[in-house]
Every structure is written in structure tokens, then in C-alpha cells.
Amino acid sequence: MNLAKALRASGPLLGLAAVWGLFAVLAPHGNFTSWANTELMLLQTAVVGTAAVGATWIIVSGGIDLSVGANIALSAMVGALVLRDGHGFWWAALATVCTGALVGWLIGALVVGALPRVVLTVGFATAVVWAAHGMGSLWAGCFALACGALVWRWSARIRWSLPLSPFIVTLGLWGALRGAAKGLGNNQPIYPERDETLLSLMKPGGSLPPGVWVLLAVALVASLLLRRSVFGRHVTALGSSRETARLCGVDLQRTELGVYVLACTCAGIAALLQLSYLSMGDPTTGQGYELKAIAAAVIGGASLAGGEGSIFGAVLGALIMTVVDNGCTKLQFDNWVQEIVTGGIIVAAVALDRWRHSREVSRAARRVP
Amino acid sequence: MRDEPSRLCVRALHKRFGATQALAGVDLDVRCGEVHALVGENGAGKSTLLKALAGVHQPDSGSMELDGRMHLPDGPAAARAAGLAIIHQELALAPHLTIGENLFLGREPRRGPFVDRRAQRAAARAALAKAGRAHLDPDRLLRSLPPADRQLVEIARALAHHARVLVLDEPTSSLTEDDIAPLLARLRALARTGVAVLYVSHVFEELFAVADRYTVLRDGRTVASGCMADIDHDRLIAAMVGRDLEQVYHRSPATPAEVVLELDCVAGVRLPREATLSVRRGEIVGLAGLVGAGRTELLRCVFGLDEVVAGRLRVLAHVGGRSPRERWRQGVGLLSEDRKQEGLSQAQSLADNLWLPVLSRQACRGVLSGGALARSAGPWLERLGVRCRGAHQTVAELSGGNQQKVALARLLAAGCDVLLLDEPTRGIDVGSKAEIYRAIDELAHARGAAVLMVSSYLPELLGMCDRIAVVAQGKVLPARPAATWTEHTLLTAMATGREREVVA
């Protein structure tokens, strides 16, 4: 049994080894196994991998986020804007990550049913930004944030609630956030001043770039939180059985709101890495990342029904997809081949997982008298 | 009527599940054109008999005949095709389809690959007219119908499929009082057209209003049958009860202390309508009542899972409506009647389930350790005799009885002083039952917890409880010492909503 469990946990790792080994054998002359290429693959994984960590949290809680890609674009645009206005790297990084988290708050608040409060808060904050934009982007944003927080607190007395499904909320935001990102730059990318600290995040050469360390750190913290904190266990219980969680006194609203804020903070961090990678704010970037993040989580063992998922599995899942992309390029396959192979891997991973699952269940059923 | 031929004829039906003899000789005759009442306590074998008729279970021995022909369906579809339709408490209708589509779902009249909508509509009209709902438009969406009409749509579906035997299982449990009389009148009218109706219910007024004859089941066998005109309430109940109390109940002497749970005219959104009750430390109070009387809703209101709209509620020193989260903190725990969906999170481990309400107490500086959780869960699982390979095992791998012990262990581990138990022994084996009885008894009588327990199994209430209150139509009748109740008086109070003094 313990062997089976270990096998299950290391499934994505074995998958990665198999895919990597396959390409290492098939493409011996394409320098697939070189350090430079490995580093490149890790760098290419950093953005999607970080987003996949957040996606895993949401999937474990029984939800879904289709707006990750648009969120990354918007957050990166905000970061680029702050950088262009000359506030330096740290303010830009903070603004990027905070924008991601704010989007998470927006999704979470809509999902738990605080629609009226959201409308009030967002409306008021937008008005403040409008009135105060002469202060410069950063200060106007901070001011609006403070005012919005006050309105949010004050509006807690509004009891009327209308819970919405996360699929619908994030499908709406998938378009809305992209639109906001484009509006922020008047349909143009934002080119900030060259900032060495920002660029060094994702610069290859020498040892592992900081961006990869960021991914590993985010994954480590997220994994510890999910497995070892009360909040993380509540999230798992929520996704596993909402009714049981409610019966056992889990605060469903706070937990659900917390999940989206936390997961979208990961998306904000992914946006920072993307900003560094592109060295500009591009409103059209990150398209399709939402599905890549979900695919990575699913390859890593998450169940879309909720209650199940592994953070490191998701990171490995993202890495598997990068390896396939990279390996196919080295073999000089066309793009369409990569896409078919990646699609096949997703379905195969889930089918394998379900099969193992059904075997476990039937074994358990035989044991019970 | 006495000369009518027998339509459904069951002889010496036997069925065994493992160690339990569910049916031990059932005889049943339902004649053409009659409404036949099938009565019996919970566990008497009614639902097993219905499942045998529907082809869900195959009987071990005995015979079933429908219009003189062998009736041995291998599944519900075969039973329906043979002309026997069962209408359950939970209706099997698709709310997003129209009435007509519901009536012919799975056997639509076709024209080539398309549904012949005109034929379907005409046939639907005819079937609805037979069910007495000619005014319903077949194109209306089912979800726009009130519950009473949905019930008749389901009856119309049975008629559209040429059912000759119509079985209704507690058909009035979801209806209001005003809807019941028309339904019963409709059933009588249907019977006059030659359909045989088998009517399963606990509510005696309905049985006497609608049925021509009756059959009583007890312990899996037919113990009485005859004409409704020749029997009265008391004799019907006398035929149903009369079982020996099984010697599995522990009951230590009770020493009730102060009142810790007090309800004063508490009302929920729909149920309960008026609940006044008090429970003391160190005593077990039982709630008896029919399905749909509001017993479960009462517990859920106390626990904060359902909203309290009126009345006063005091738990320990706390007044007012509270959330489940606060209830756990106050030392109140609820055991759900729905073990699979609500009671336990099936895919998670025993330890996760056990500690979920009080996880933060298990954390060391905010950090939880899976190993420590499993280790600290061990003694609680042992105390209730949960048979498992360890606290890391997932709940779904355990048998029903062991799952229920885990759910109860959760209340113990959380250190609850007030326990709300909803059907604590539903659907579990005798051995597990005895262990759960022992644990409840110890909690109340040795550790001084207050227990409020709902059960549909009357011997259990009589054997376990210090006091019993009857819930009928959303109202709680005054609780009385268990010794002053018998199954007979309990059943009477449950069915009539009135407490009658025992007429010796």
C-alpha cells in the first residue's frame, strides 16, 4: 500500500523522467541534454509553473480560474507602468504582485456572493483613481486601494448575497482583465526604462537564475501551507466535501476568498517573472496560460472535482509540457506536432490517474465484508 | 369487489442479506381495482419487498405473479415493462424538460430520427387526463409545477406506460395537507378504472381514507391482512408492533443535572413549526416522528445549519442563532443523518475527518503534522472500536458501521458536551450498533453529556433514551419518560400528532 502511495506521488516525476529520457535518446545531436538547454527549459517553466501553483490551490478547493493569463498580462502592465514612472524595481514588483492579489480578491468576493459589496468597492476605487490620477500612477493607485479597503469594510453590513460559480466569474474576467490590460496602455505595450534588477530575474547564464528560485520558493511555501496549515486543510476539506466542511464549522466564505487571493498572488508573481522575461508590459501576453496552468495541475495529479492535488506535481506537470515543447523543437517537429503530443499527455495522465483510482476503490470494496 | 381477481400475488417471499433475514415469508394479494395499504414499522421489510417487486433485488425463494404470470424482473426497466410502476418519495423527473418530454423520456414516439412531437403531445394529454390533470399543458416545464402536480405527472407517466400495478411509497411526505385529499381521491378514481394500487404509508388517516384492504409486515413476514373496514387504528398498530426488545441496549442509571439545551417555540424556515424542549446534562432525549415531521430540521436549527426564524434558543450559556463554527467551539456537535454526503468527507483520511472541527487545537504554532494528527486520532478510533488499518486510511474504504463510528468519534474528540445525533445507527450492522449504543450511553450517563437523538427505529429510542418527545407536523409534543411510552403509544402519537392517554 505504501509502495502504491509512493508510486502515486512520484507519478509526475516518473513521467518527466520518461519524457526527458525519450528526447535525450531521440535527439542526441540537438544539445537537448546540455546545461544551457536545461536552464532554458527551467526558465520557460518558471512563469507557467508559478501560475500552476496557484491553479492547484484553486482546483483543490473545488474551484477553477480561467482568467490567469489575462491576470498575468494586467499585472505585468501595472508593473511596467510603475517602472516607467520611475519608481524603481521594488515598487514595480510590489505593484505587480498586489495587482494579482487584488484580482484574486475580486474573483473570490464574487464567488462567495459579495456582488453588491464588490460593485460599491470597485466603483468607488475607480472614481478615486479618476479623480487622483494627477498624483501619478503609483500614488493614485495606493490612495484608491486605501479608499477601496475602507468601503469594503464598511459595506460588510450588507447581508444580501448572490454566490456565483467560479467558472462563470473567471470566464467573464478572462475577457474583462484582458480589456483592462489593453486600456491601461492605450492598446500599446508599455516599454519601461531598462532595469538591471528586473532583467537579472530571468537572465540565463552561470548558476540557476533567480526566477527559477522564485518558482521553487513559491512552490515550497504553497505546498507547506496546503499540507501543514489549518487553512490548507480547510481548503482541502472544502473541495473534498462542501457539506462536511460546513457541518464541521469551516468558515466557507473566508476560506474560499482566501484561496483566490492566495492563488492569484501566485499569478501576480508569475506576472513579475513574465515582465522580467519580456522586459516590457505586453497586454497580449499570457494567452492560453490559464489552460496550461490547469493542465499542469491535472498532470500533477489534481482532480477537477476538488479535494486532491499536489503543488510539486503541478510544477513537474508544467515542466513536462516545456520538455515536450523543447524536445519537439530540437527534433525539428512542427508546432502542430507539439500541440498534439501535449494534448495526448494531458488525457493520458488523467486516464492513468482515474484507472489507478478505480483499482484502489475496487480493492477497498473487496476488503469490506 | 371481493370477487375481483388477484392482480399481484406474492407468496412466501424470502430474501437474506448476509446475516440479516430481510424477508422471511411475505404473502401479499393486490386485486384489480383496489387500493391496498402496506404497513409496517421501519425495518419490517417494506422497502426490501418493493425492491424485489421492482427487480432491484432478486428474492431467494417464493413466488411473485402479475396477472397469473411469473413476475421475476431482472431490473427496474423490466418491471416497468411488465406493468408495475413504483413511485418513490423522491420523484424521478427532469426539471428542465417539459411535462410531455418527461412522460415519454426514453421511449419517445418517433418519426424517423426525430421525436414525433405531435403524437407525444397528444399521448401526454391523454395520460394527464387519466391522472386527473387534463388542464396541464404538456409543453410546460416541469420545474414550474408545484410538488403535488409533479406527483401526478409521475403517476401519469406510469399510466402512459400502461402500468397495471401502481406502487406509491410514502407519496404524501412532501405534500401539504391541502394537496393530500385530492391525491387520495384521484387514487380511488384510478382504482375504479381497474388499476391495482399498492399504497405504502405511515399515516393512518390516509390509509383509512384511501385503502380497501391492508397487509401488515413485521420482521420480514406478513402478520395480518384483511379489509380496512374490519380494523381500527389500535388493532392495526398492535399488529405492527409486538417485537421483543433486542438486548443490545446499555442503559446505566441516569442522573440528570442542569438544563443545557433549551428551545422555546423555535421555528425554522419551513420546519420545525414550533419546538419547545429542554435537555439536561447526563440524559438522553429521543425524538420520534414520521419522515418529514421536522426532526432533522430541528437538530439543524439548533446547530446553526438551518436558519431559526422565530423563538428562543439557548445552548449552554449561549443565546440566539449561531453558526456551526461557533457551536463546535461551544462544545456542541452534530452527527449527520447523511453519512455519505455530509457526515464524512469520503476521500479524506480518518484523521482529517476526525479533527476537522477542531483542527486549530491540533496545530503547534500554526503547523499541522500529518503523523501527529494520525497518532492523536488513534486512541479515539480505538475507543469506539473502529476497524481500520490506521488513521491515514481514507473513509471510503471503511464499511458503513465503521464510518459511522468515525463520525461519532469526531464528537468525542472535539470534547462535545451537547450531542445532536441524527439517526446514529441508520444502515449499519448489529455489531456496530451495539458499540455505538455503548458509546452514547457512556457519554451521557458516565461523562454527563446531554444527548438529543433522532431515530426512526422505535425499539432503539425506547431502549436508549431517558425521555422521548414526539415530533408531528413540525411540532414537538411534550417529552415524557421513556418508561411511560410503548411502541404502540409512540406510533399513535407520531401518526395523529396528538398524545392520547393509553386506554387500557
When pLDDT is cut at 50, 70 and 90, the band that residue A368 belongs to is very low
Is residue B207 assigned to a domain?
Answer: yes
CA angle B119, B120, B121 (to 5 degrees): 90
Contact residues on chain B for A1, CB-CB shorter than 8 A:
389
- Work out how many domains chain B is built from and give that number: 4
Q: For A291-305, what is the mean pLDDT?
A: 92
Nearest CB to B360; choose among A230, A237, A368: A230
Per-residue DSSP letters for A210-252? HHHHHHHHHHHHHHHHHHHSHHHHHHHHHHH-HHHHHHTT--H
Of B130, B147, B163, the one marking the end of a domain is: B163
Please give the pLDDT value at position B503: 41
> Residue B178 is which amino acid?
D
Per CB distance under 8 Å, which residues of A are interface residues toward B? 1, 227-230, 233-234, 236-237, 240-241, 243-251, 307-308, 361, 364, 367-369
Nearest CB to A236; choose among B328, B348, B397: B348
Of B203, B218, B242, the one marking the end of a domain is: B242
Q: Looking at the structure, tell me whether residues B435 and B326 fall in a common domain.
A: yes
- Would you say residue A369 has pLDDT above 50? no
Q: Looking at the structure, tell me whether residues B425 and B497 fall in a common domain.
A: yes
Q: For A275-279, what is the mean pLDDT?
A: 93
Is residue B373 assigned to a domain?
Answer: yes
Q: Looking at the structure, tell me whether residues B304 and B446 fall in a common domain.
A: yes
Q: Which triple of cell numbers denotes residue B489?
A: 403509544
Q: Looking at the structure, tell me whether residues B303 and B447 fall in a common domain.
A: yes
B352 and A237: CB-CB below 8 Å? yes
- Would you say residue A366 has pLDDT above 70? no
**pLDDT: is B244 or A245 the higher one?**
A245
Nearest CB to B357; choose among A236, A248, A364: A248
Q: Looking at the structure, tell me whether residues B77 and B207 fall in a common domain.
A: yes
When pLDDT is cut at 50, 70 and 90, the band that residue A363 belongs to is low
pTM (two decimals): 0.84
All domains in chain A, ordered by first residue: 12-24+32-113+163-354 (1.10.3470)
Contact residues on chain A for B367, CB-CB shorter than 8 A:
228-229
Cα dihedral across residues A31, A36, A38, A44: positive or negative: negative
Instruction: Residue window 68-127, chain B: list those with CB within 8 Å of chain A.
Output: none
Is residue B409 assigned to a domain?
Answer: yes
Of B163, B184, B218, the one marking the end of a domain is: B163
The HSE-up count of residue B438 (CA atoms within 13 Å, CB side) is 12
Please give the pLDDT value at position A365: 54
Q: Looking at the structure, tell me whether residues B375 and B404 fall in a common domain.
A: yes
- Tens digit of pLDDT for each residue in A57-80? 999 999 999 999 999 999 999 999
Q: For A250-254, what is the mean pLDDT?
A: 94
Q: Looking at the structure, tell me whether residues B280 and B140 fall in a common domain.
A: no
Is residue B293 assigned to a domain?
Answer: yes
- Taking CA–CA distances from A248, the nearest residue in chain B reads B357
A229 and B368: CB-CB below 8 Å? yes
Cis preceding linkage at B272, omega within 30 = yes
Task: Report the range out of A265-274, A329-338, B128-137 with the highest average pLDDT.
Answer: A265-274
Low-confidence residues in chain B, pLDDT < 50: 1, 245, 502-504
Q: Looking at the structure, tell me whether residues B143 and B77 fall in a common domain.
A: no
| CATH classification of the domain holding B434 | 3.40.50.300
Is residue B12 assigned to a domain?
Answer: no
Is residue B363 assigned to a domain?
Answer: yes
Q: Looking at the structure, tell me whether residues B154 and B238 fall in a common domain.
A: no
User: Is any Cβ of chain A less than 8 angstroms from the Cβ of B327?
Assistant: yes
Range of the domain at B187: 27-83+164-242
Q: Looking at the structure, tell me whether residues B446 and B504 fall in a common domain.
A: yes
Q: For A318-338, what is the mean pLDDT?
A: 90
| Number of Cβ within a 10 Å radius of residue A190 | 22
Please give the pLDDT value at position B120: 93
Is residue B124 assigned to a domain?
Answer: yes
Burial annotation A67-92 (CB, 10 A radius, 16+ → b, else e) = bbbbbbbbbbbbbbbbbbbebebebb
- Taking CA–CA distances from A306, the nearest residue in chain B reads B347
> How close does chain A come to B369, measured CA to CA in Å?
6
Q: Looking at the structure, tell me whether residues B287 and B423 fall in a common domain.
A: yes
Q: Looking at the structure, tell me whether residues B323 and B451 fall in a common domain.
A: yes
Is residue B503 assigned to a domain?
Answer: yes
Q: Which triple of cell numbers denotes residue B387?
A: 476497524
Please give the pLDDT value at position A294: 95
